[in-house]
Amino acid sequence: MNTKEKIKKRPHHDVIDLIVEKGRWIEKIFAVVVIISAICTCFVQVNYDLSEYLPDWAPAKQGLNVMEEEFGYPGTARVMVGPVTLYEAKAFKDRFADIDGVDMVMWADTTTDVYKADIFINYKDIEDYYKDGYAVMDIIFKEGDSSSLTKSAIHDMQKLTGGKGFFTGSAVQNKSLNETLTREISIAMAMGVVMIALILCLTTTSWFEPVLFLMIMGIAIIINMGTNLFIGTISFITFSVAAILQLAVAMDYSVFLLDTFTKEREKGDDPKAAMVRALRKSLPSILASGATTVIGFLALMLMRFSIGKDLGFVLAKGIVISLLTVLLLMPSLLLRWGDRIKKTEHKSFMPSFYRLGRMVHKVRYVVLAFVLLLMIPAYVAQNMNAFTFGNGALGSSPGTKVYRDEQQINSRFGKSNLILAVVPNTNMVSEKKLTDDLTDLNYVRSATSLAGKLPEGIPEKILPKSLTSLMHTEDYSRIMIYVKSSDESDFAFQCSDEIRGIVNGYYPEEAYVTGVIPSTQNIKSIITEDYNFVNVLSILGVGLVVMLSFQSLIIPIVVLIPIEVAVFFNMAIPYFTGESILYLGYIIVSCLQLGATVDYSILMTNNYMEIKKEYPEKSRAVMHTVSKSALSILTSGTILTIVGYGLYFVSSVSAIAGLGHLIGRGALISVLMVLFLLPVLLTLADPILMWESRQKIKFLAFLQETKEKGIRNSIQKQLKKSVKMELQKKDKEKQVKKEGMDNEDK
């Protein structure tokens, strides 16, 4: 009798039976979905502007929304050319202004007639724009930083200046990020695949298994990337890390299923029957493992700074798609290629880890003392890191051309950043006074407004609308303020606050101060408040999943302690080494490290509870637990570590490299904490664990007894009812018989 006939004879078809029986149909469905997803991937846009993710109630975002509606949301750049004469610089300026996509070019000729003879030009007055043979210009584009028109305009300017041009600013950073990430993520992904394949070859027992694992994950990654089209646009951070993290984190699910299937098949049953049993046995472990990771990512979605929603959704979606691919597609592929896996089997290259178990048991109290000694300092230090919050840490990272150009420009002309004031267009006199007050500030390079540029007595109405629309609309005026500061520093924030105070003094209502610096201020205030909420929520969510999986109150605490300690240590290291880290990366890795590496703790705890039944003595149970768990933990942890450090070494973008460094180091520390700290916690908590286990057994026995008692009572009631009905039937028959005899006598 074949498996199909066996399944047909069962009382009902469940989902697992259908997955195994309809494998060929599932393959065809996945093939179609993968092709469509691969095409959709080409149409997913990438956003590089963090201010886009500010909530609508943030003051800087309100200003950006008003400005975009009234004037558009222009990209900006700062360009230095040299060595050039003053007249050559003027020629460059005019040619820049004629490039399609350029809105305005601000330079010295707006205040000085550069065609005068040298003796009539006061070079001190224009040294903010021209000195030592170099000229610096501020460029305002017609469209935003991410626009293809803006990128094309920057390309034309770079081509025009050749070796004499130096470019920086948000639009230039955006273009550089776009070009850099596309190249570097491809390299990091290729390196990750090669290294993961090598690790899997060493830790599995078949040459074909790594091919199968990578194929399953590749399909899941393509589907996840293609379904991002429903979002429309994803952030550059999501674009950078989502695929490679999905590859590293979700690999375990394939390993779980294949390991269970191999054990079931060794029993000699039909492959389909073995697969049905393998799915039933591995499903709880796979779903529990996936749930902890998904919850860690879903917590990011509750951030008010909505880049967390963007990243959390894509990563959580990736894990769900990976789970579905493993549970739906992998059974069919295993049945199709099971013989190929068997033919390519080889001896395990990994040694026994029993010695590691003995060593862990010997040093358990030293490890515990070490952790207790450093845990509080690490917790304090992680909150004292030097953080960055805005776009400045992204496109102009050390090592990039944008960074080198920025240093060249700043060394000659100092720092410069644009702050925009959008005020009601009600009074030209007030606008002129405000512009003058802003110009008088010692840290302001220039403040440009229509009222400030119009000669006295010249009405706005006589000027062409093509000129005035750049600075005025029917309802609002725009004032462009260039300040001598970086885009992110205490001084920059002080400048922004003072400018906001002056603007609000003239226009108490409906005035907005926006730009890179105010946006970064808002990001900082919002995202720091988000962290505590997201962190607590992810811990509670993961703890709840563990509690329901083990049906225990103590196990979630035991399981989470090593991972949280690992997070503290990981995040404290930058403080002691003097590194600055992107605060957004700090939040992302905290949730990722918890969600992805808590599986190691769950695996070891589960093994300990099983082994304790065979080895009641705690010391022997712990040694066997470490021995049994080490290979799986090291395999998964090494993959995540290599992926993280791959991003760190490949990416020239400091934010992405720093994110990779935190991921790689965090995975490594989590592995060490699980292997060395968790065993001693299990032995210390053993009395409570065993008490809970006994209570659970008693409770299950009570339920069984209650159930059996209920069944017995039900049977007894049924019997009594049957006897009663039988007696009533006999009485009725006697009555009928008696009535018949009475009738005969009559």
Confidence grade of residue 239 (pLDDT, cut at 50, 70, 90): confident
Residues 158 and 224 in one domain: no
Terminal Cα-to-Cα distance of the chain (whole angstroms): 71
Residue 145 has pLDDT above 90, yes or no: no
What is the pLDDT, as a whole number, of residue 313? 93
Residues 83 and 151 in one domain: yes
Tokens of 644: 């993280």
Residues 147 and 240 in one domain: no
What is the pLDDT, as a whole number, of residue 359? 92
How far is Cα 495 from Cα 485, in angstroms, rounded to an integer? Answer: 8
In a domain, 693, yes or no: no
DSSP class of 649: H
Confidence grade of residue 224 (pLDDT, cut at 50, 70, 90): very high
Residue 189 has pLDDT above 50, yes or no: yes
- ∠ CA(670), CA(234), CA(541), 5° rounding? 40
Parallel, antiparallel or unpaired: strands 134-141 and 130-131? antiparallel
Residue 75 has pLDDT above 80, yes or no: yes
Residue 3 has pLDDT above 50, yes or no: no
Question: Roughly what angle, to the nearest 10 degrees, separates helices 330-343 and 251-265?
Answer: 60
What is the pLDDT, as a whole number, of residue 742? 62
Average pLDDT over residues 431-449: 89
Q: What tens digit of pLDDT does each residue of 295-338 get?
A: 888 888 888 888 888 989 999 999 999 999 999 999 999 988 88
Residue (of 197, 211, 207, 204) closest to 349 by Cα position = 204
Parallel, antiparallel or unpaired: strands 233-235 and 45-47? parallel
Give yes or no for a cis peptide into 562 (omega within 30° of 0): no
Confidence grade of residue 367 (pLDDT, cut at 50, 70, 90): very high
What is the pLDDT, as a whole number, of residue 5? 46
Tokens of 700: 């299950």
The 10 Å Cβ neighbour count of residue 39 is 11
Residues 224 and 316 in one domain: yes
What is the pLDDT, as a whole number, of residue 183? 81
Among candidate residues 349, 365, 399, the one where a domain is terminated: 349
**Residues 615 and 624: beta-carbon distance below 8 Å:** yes
In a domain, 194, yes or no: no
Hunting for tokens 């210390």 — which residue is that? 684
**Three-state secondary structure readout of 13-43:** CCHHHHHHHCHHHHHHHHHHHHHHHHHHHCC
In a domain, 281, yes or no: yes
CA 269 to each of CA 10, 112, 209: distance values in angstroms, whole numbers, following the listed order = 17, 91, 21
pTM: 0.81
What is the pLDDT, as a whole number, of residue 6? 46
**Residues 518 and 63: beta-carbon distance below 8 Å:** yes
Residue (of 590, 586, 573, 236) closest to 388 by Cα position = 586
Write down the H helix ranges in 651-685: 654-676, 678-684
Residues 311 and 229 in one domain: yes
**Chain centroid to CA 640:** 14
Question: Roughly what angle, to the nearest 10 degrees, separates helices 364-382 and 354-362?
Answer: 70
In a domain, 579, yes or no: no
User: Which of the residue ranges 211-220, 226-235, 541-550, 717-726 would you say has the lowest mean pLDDT?
Assistant: 717-726
Q: Name 727's Cβ contacts closer than 8 Å, sequence gap at least 6.
A: none
Amino acid making up residue 142: K
**Host domain of residue 88:** 74-175
Q: What tens digit of pLDDT does each residue of 150-184 get?
A: 999 999 999 999 889 999 888 888 888 877 777 88
**Residues 642 and 634: beta-carbon distance below 8 Å:** no
Among candidate residues 156, 175, 194, the one where a domain is terminated: 175
Residue 3: give its domain's CATH number. 1.20.1640.10
Parallel, antiparallel or unpaired: strands 417-424 and 476-483? antiparallel
Residue (of 390, 260, 386, 400) closest to 330 by Cα position = 260
Residues 162 and 225 in one domain: no
What is the pLDDT, as a whole number, of residue 561? 93
Q: What tens digit of pLDDT does each residue of 463-493 get?
A: 656 556 778 888 899 898 989 888 888 899 9
Question: Roughly what angle, to the nearest 10 degrees, separates helices 209-227 and 170-203?
Answer: 150
Element (H, E) at 112: none
Strands (E), 178-276: 233-235
**Residues 307 and 534: beta-carbon distance below 8 Å:** no
User: Which of the residue ranges 28-32, 415-419, 429-433, 726-730 would you say has the lowest mean pLDDT?
Assistant: 726-730
Q: What tens digit of pLDDT does each residue of 253-303 get?
A: 888 888 888 888 887 678 888 889 889 888 888 888 888 889 888 888 888
Residue (of 615, 610, 741, 599) closest to 678 by Cα position = 599
The average confidence (pLDDT) of the chain is 84
Q: Name 432's Cβ contacts closer than 8 Å, sequence gap at least 6.
A: 449, 451, 452
Average pLDDT over residues 47-56: 84
How far is Cα 188 from Cα 177, in angstroms, rounded to an integer? Answer: 15
Confidence grade of residue 501 (pLDDT, cut at 50, 70, 90): very high
Element (H, E) at 166: strand 165-168
Confidence grade of residue 674 (pLDDT, cut at 50, 70, 90): very high
DSSP class of 328: I
User: Which of the residue ranges 141-150, 363-372, 687-696 would you say has the lowest mean pLDDT?
Assistant: 687-696
Residue 652 has pLDDT above 70, yes or no: yes
Residues for the chain: how many in total?
Answer: 746
Q: What tens digit of pLDDT does each residue of 79-119 get?
A: 999 898 888 888 899 899 999 999 888 888 766 666 665 66
What is the pLDDT, as a whole number, of residue 10? 45
Q: Name 119's Cβ contacts closer than 8 Å, sequence gap at least 6.
A: none
In a domain, 378, yes or no: no
**Residues 439 and 446: beta-carbon distance below 8 Å:** yes
Residues 171 and 209 in one domain: no
Residues 111 and 1 in one domain: no
Overall number of domains in the chain: 2
Parallel, antiparallel or unpaired: strands 512-515 and 165-168? unpaired
In a domain, 128, yes or no: yes
Residue 700 has pLDDT above 70, yes or no: no
What is the pLDDT, as a whole number, of residue 565? 94
What is the pLDDT, as a whole number, of residue 324? 94
Tokens of 326: 């493993």
Residues 166 and 217 in one domain: no
Hunting for tokens 């992904």 — which residue is that? 189
How far is Cα 159 from Cα 356, in angstroms, rounded to an integer? Answer: 61
Residues 130 and 208 in one domain: no
Residue 115: give its domain's CATH number. 3.30.70
Element (H, E) at 142: none
Q: Print burial letters for 133-163: b (CB count within 10 Å at least 16), e (below 16).
A: ebbbbbbbbbbbbbbeebbebbebbeeebee
Average pLDDT over residues 186-198: 86
Residues 269 and 329 in one domain: yes
Q: Following DSSP, what letter does each residue of 59-102 receive, concatenated? A: HHHHHHHHHHHHT----EEEEEE-S--HHHHHHHHHHHHTSTTE
φ, ψ for residue 481, nearest 5 deg = -120, 115
In a domain, 6, yes or no: yes
**Residues 521 and 493: beta-carbon distance below 8 Å:** yes
120 versus 37: the higher-pLDDT residue is 37
In a domain, 306, yes or no: yes
Residues 225 and 311 in one domain: yes
How far is Cα 582 from Cα 237, in angstroms, rounded to an integer? Answer: 11
C-beta contacts of 115-123 below 8 A and 24+ residues apart: 115/87, 115/90, 121/86
Q: What tens digit of pLDDT does each residue of 388-399 get?
A: 887 665 655 666
Among candidate residues 349, 376, 391, the one where a domain is terminated: 349
